[in-house]
Structure 1
Amino acid sequence: MTATRLALRRMRLLLSLLCLITGFSMFLFTPGIQAQSYQKAVWIPVDNTIERGLESFLARAFADAQEEKADLVILHINTPGGEVDAADQIGQLIRQSPMHTIAYIDNQAFSAGTYIALNANEIIMTPGSSMGAATPIDLAGNAADIKFISGWSKKMTAAASLNQRNPDVARAMVEIDTEFPGLKPKGTVLSLDAQQAKTLGYADHVVSGKEELLASLGISSDSLHVIEPTGGEKVARWVTSPYVMSLLLVIGLVGIVVELFAPGFGVAGTISLVSFGLYFFGHYVAGFANWLHIGLFVIGILLMILEIFLPGGIVGAIGFISIVTGLVMAAYDTQQGLASLGIAAVVTLVVTFLLVKRYGIKGLFGKFVLGDAQHNEEGYVAPKDQRDLTGKSGIALTPLRPAGVVKVEGKRVDAVSAGGFIAAGTAIVVVQVEGTRVVVSEQE
């Protein structure tokens, strides 16, 4: 019995020792941030609302990082969300990058920001940060239709599966009308704090802050290269927001209408030019507009002005089409460009109606119609007899299309062309004089 008890005691001691070794080993090899040897690391901010301007900046930032031979990209994500289409393109940019990408969340990464984070190779959060609530909403703030939500849910689950994350968690962040036992009840969307994300496998690590993150990656603050957006890219991010796009077009078109009711070129015209200038500048910097689109807009404006002197409607119609084409083609998305222009057109029509109601139709055409009138009490001055100019030669001082100014015998004379257009500097001859009307033609 004594030998048996001794054997049992030895077996228990051996088992206890094995358990102790196993527990100690698990403690030692608990997954943490793997200290890898990175040759070059870059830090890229992903903040504020996600829109097409951010997509353009990140495309440039990733290209710069690759040129600098970087092998690690840290995306500092702090966003309430934004455009789904822009987030989709950014996610594709991250997936196609050969560099190891870490999504670092120290505040929030909601909606489209969560999708961007899920496309990264790793997600690292800080205590107090959160992610999720990825249900897409429309411009009115309401949840998108079922078809769109279903498609976005598929994209979210696909992004989650990239790094073996539970796709049901991603679906729970998107779908409101679906119940996920243990995650969320029906009628809500899922959001996760840092610890919940770590438990569910949606955060690979939780660190106290940037210093601990860099230390655990073996990166010094001095060697970390930060890629910031340029001033132009910041303007582009602001301008390419759908709300700002519509606002700039509204201000631009309304400014033109108000300018038509005001004498001279003043504040309204200046504001209109600045608004259109910002619109094209932002989209040009973001890479959506080019000189063709800007040229179409400028040509359209010139044709609309020319319509004032060449009535008939054809030139004005071509100018209008050119303006619309330039504005829409400059937008990052044709549908969004048409929507923004449509909103601006409706607002402009309302403003025009109110101005006409207030000032009358004469206020609109006051610039193009002579407002002076001659009254009997002011006397009458007979027009100068110019019949002696018939048959005499001269030169066109201004283009005649058909009216203009010519010089005959050293005198400036208002004249009209007997035929088509006569360019300035062309030799002319007076062919007819009827009262104050002097008709000229090109001298053969």
Structure 2
Amino acid sequence: MNKIIKIASLMVIFFAVLSMPGYAQRVYEFSIKDEIGPGAWYVAKNAYAKAKESKADYLLMELNTFGGAVNFADSIRSMLLNADMKTVVYINNNAASAGALISLATDHIFMHSGASLGAATVVDGSGEVLPEKYQSYMRGLMRATAEAKGRNARMAEAFVDPSISVPSLKEDGKLLTLTASESVKAGLADAEVKSTAQIYEKLGVADPQITVHQTTMIDRLIAFLINPLVSGLLIMGIIGGIYVEMQTPGLGFAGVVAVVCGGLFFAPLYLQGLADHWEIAIFVVGVILMALEVFVIPGFGVAGIAGIICMLCGLAFSMVANDFLDFQLSKPGLLMEAFLVVLGAMVLSVVLMVIFGKNLLRSPAFRKLVLADEQLAEGGYTSSVPKLSLINQVGVASTVLRPSGKIEIEGGWYEAVAMDGFIDLGERVVVVKHENYTLFVRKYVAPAE
């Protein structure tokens, strides 16, 4: 009987040991080896979602970055601070600037031999140090992150502020950057390792069930499209296409370009959770108002201005996380930056269309994309034929010009755009200029006798 009790006790202890942490624990691994930006945030967010779905015990991020955008780094930081599982970063080989902020947000920091951590001063795209308000914000982020994980907040702040003295690790007036061994001695890193296998040994995970995050072609495409530079180019395509479409009534290719660029701009932002239905709706309303202003309402007034504002807001709001105008801004001036990107792209696209639009429309490559006009002058209709001789000729409005329509000159019909807004059917007009295959006309005023 005693033997049976002993065997039963040993079996209970054996199964209890097997169920303890360190046995068959689930680990989800992913990597960030590029600049911290929308692509890195997209990968990190998807990896975390899949780690939660698989009920992982550990989320391990292999990090090698020289930094990037603070707003996306802060998004990753917030996700790690609020994670439902233990978070681990394996710095292999760099965690500079925004990478340092992300590293401090994890529960465990392990560094490859020869890796470095630190140098987190906020700079602009050209490497110039930004004003104090940005540095103050970054210092606060570093302190708060270090404190949340029980690390030395003053040392974390020294990554940003060169005035903070850390005698044993840096000279006064220099930013703090630590090697792997220095990070371990300073208590910021857990250990210096050479592989993830050593990390699991030090964590006491003897039999990890590892799942490695896989990025698909769609993931890479979305990460590419949400890059701010690519977004700016897409905005130029949207505005440029709309501008050409309104300048050349009946031309469909420019409209297709605008629609395609609009889809490529909004779709990845919508999938990422930035763009919402109402933001896309605001942009569409803006396009409709602009179309009404150009083709229906004489002159340029409230509808046109409201259309521009709606388009600007729809595009800018889509680039910033918000809950119906409740903006979750992760750094000062983020919303203003979005507006500047959109406004700059809009202005640049219009300027380029004004300068190069005429040559573009007349280029052989562009003409191949447009259906050739088969209507002949013998049939009483003339369209898209350069007629410099028509300048200063007087004709009659064959349709209402709002501002575009058709006019008749000596039995021939021509596409025309009114330069003074609205011209009614049957009114006499005079040709002022010929541009982009379209005649521009004004109401004819008979000379005084």
TM class, shorter-length: 0.5 to 0.7
Q: What is the match of residue 78 of structure 2? A: 92
Larger Rg: 1 or 2? Answer: 1
Give the gaps of 5 or more residues in structure 1.
Answer: 1-33, 360-368, 377-400, 405-432, 436-444
**2:318 aligned to 307, 330, 333, which one?**
330
Distance 1:259 1:306, change over 3 A: closer
- How much has 1:70 moved relative to structure 2? 1.5
- Matching residue of 1:150: 136
Cα deviation for residue 132 of structure 1 reads 1.0
Count, aligned residues: 350
Q: Does 1:198 align with 2:199?
A: no
Deviation at 1:288, TM superposition (A): 0.7
Measure the CA separation in 2 of the matches of 1:374 and 1:344.
Answer: 34
Q: 1:375, 1:165 → 2: CA distance? A: 81
C-alpha separation between the residues in 2 aligned to 1:94 and 1:164? 14
C-alpha distance 318-167 of structure 1, shift in aligned 2 (>3 A): closer
The secondary structure found in structure 2 opposite 1:248 is helix
Is the partner of 1:342 in helix, strand or coil?
A: helix
Q: Residues 90 and 267 (structure 1 numbering): CA distance in 2 closer, same or farther, change over 3 Å?
A: same
State the match for 2:443 in structure 1. Answer: none
Shift of 1:51: 2.6
Q: Distance in 2 between matches of 1:79 and 1:206?
A: 18
- Structure 2 alignment gaps of length 5 or more: 1-19, 322-334, 361-381, 391-401, 406-424, 428-449
Alignment of 1:220-369 (within 5 A): 223-257=209-243, 265=251, 271-312=257-298, 313=300, 314-332=302-320, 334-352=335-353, 354-355=355-356
Q: Secondary structure at the match of 1:174?
A: coil
Q: 2:157 aligns with which of 130, 152, 171?
A: 171
Q: Is the aligned partner of 1:74 residue 2:60?
A: yes
Q: What code does the residue aligned with 2:343 have?
A: G
In the alignment, the residues of structure 2 paired with residue 136 and residue 434 of structure 1 have an alpha-carbon distance, to the nearest angstrom, of 65
Q: 1:110 is aligned with what amino acid?
A: A
Shift of 1:283: 0.8
1:350-389 deviation digits (Å, cap 9, x = unpaired): 4355348999xxxxxxxxx97666989xxxxxxxxxxxxx
Q: Is the counterpart of residue 213 in structure 1 residue 199 in structure 2?
A: yes
Aligned in 2, Cα 1:276/1:140: closer, same or farther, shift over 3 Å? farther
- CA 1:165–1:222 in 2, change beyond 3 Å: closer, same or farther? closer
Aligned counterparts of 2:319 and 2:78: Cα–Cα separation in 1: 21
Counterpart of 1:183, as a letter, is L
The answer to whether the Cα contact below 8 Å between 2:158 and 2:164 also exists between their aligned partners in 1 is yes
* TM-aligned CA distance change 1:215 to 1:328, over 3 Å: same
Q: Secondary structure at the match of 1:224?
A: strand
Question: Is the CA contact (8 Å cut-off) linking 2:23 and 2:208 kept in structure 1?
Answer: no
**Residues 231-274 of structure 1, C-alpha deviations (whole Å, 9 max, x = no match):** 44433433333333333323433454466678974876655444
Preserved CA contact (<8 Å) 2:110 2:190: yes
Deviations 1:383-434 (A, max 9, x none): xxxxxxxxxxxxxxxxxx9999xxxxxxxxxxxxxxxxxxxxxxxxxxxx99
SS of 1:125 mapped into structure 2: strand
Identical counterparts, % of pairs: 31
What is the alpha-carbon distance in structure 2 between the residues aligned to residue 238 and residue 121 of structure 1? 30
Contact 1:178/1:186 (CA < 8 Å) preserved in 2? Answer: yes
Relative to structure 1, is the Cα distance of residues 49 and 267 closer, same or farther in structure 2, using a 3 angstrom cutoff? farther
Q: Kindly report the root-mean-square deviation, in angstroms, between the aligned alpha carbons of the 2 structures.
A: 4.3
User: Could you tell me how far 1:102 is from its partner in structure 2?
Assistant: 0.9
2: distance between equivalents of 1:288 and 1:91?
18
Q: Distance in 2 between matches of 1:350 and 1:140?
A: 25
Measured in 2, the distance between the counterparts of 1:154 and 1:316 equals 44
Equivalent pair of 1:233/1:286 in contact (CA under 8 Å): no
Confirm or deny that 1:139 pairs with 2:125. Answer: yes
Deviation at 1:87, TM superposition (A): 1.9
- The 8 Å contact of residues 246 and 294 in structure 2, kept in 1 or not, is answered as no
Contact 1:79 1:110 in 2 (8 A): yes
Task: Quote the Cα distance in structure 2 between the aligned partners of 1:97 and 1:47.
Answer: 21
Q: Which amino acid aligns with 1:94?
A: L
For residues 112-142 of structure 1, what are the alpha-carbon distances to aligned partners after superposition, in whole Å with 9 as ceiling and x for unaligned? 1111111111101111222211111123421
Distance 1:211 1:257, change over 3 A: same
Which amino acid in the other structure matches residue 310 of structure 1?
A: V
Aligned partners of 2:259 and 2:114: how far apart in 1? 46
